[in-house]
Chain A
């Protein structure tokens, strides 16, 4: 009982954590056995740092900037902006033509189309959003 109080939770809590962490540690030993352990660690740690300490402050900061203008239209700007950013995050290797020509050598196709397609997609999303705002604004205007 005293042990439980010192630990801060029940025995099942401890057992489930030890089991999960042991499985994860075992899987890590298998990854490390494949070589380049420090590069693996760099990617696991880097991913969290990039998300929690770079991406999160960046997008919340941008959001605050948008809200600072106190526009009624804020969602008509930040929703297409968010969707554009999201599609970029998922497809940026193709959009920016990264990968040292591997895509073209493998598939016979050029990566060049993706930047244009992504820009058109962003343009279309902002245009639709703007159009919706115009329709709304007209409806709200006293006649």
Chain B
């Protein structure tokens, strides 16, 4: 017996978003050490190679991980539950029943706005049970949040 993959894929633009994040994450220290190397002659012999290695690693990660993540990340909302699959090395399947959902939020970071993406966060009464669906098309995310809010609003009880 095993868990079947959730039906929904993320938006294709999520790959670009993740790539941009990798490049920004590694780009800042690469740039800093390259500039420092240019300014400080004596430290150049190790600053520039370090920058080079970091840049290569960043490019490699940006090329490799987003595709992998995109293949693995899935989501699904049924009438009864929210079901999400995330991760790469450590994979995770999260399931929260609709009747126990307390809040539904959508968040759009600056980079997500550039890629017209949004993150839907679904929380339950558990301090550790929050479910995040990252990298959804922003219109789809808004529609999904509205749908979830409607369904959970119609469910009685305090969801604990």
- Decide whether A and B assemble into one complex: no
Q: Spell out A's residues near B (CB within 8 Å).
A: none
Q: Spell out B's residues near A (CB within 8 Å).
A: none
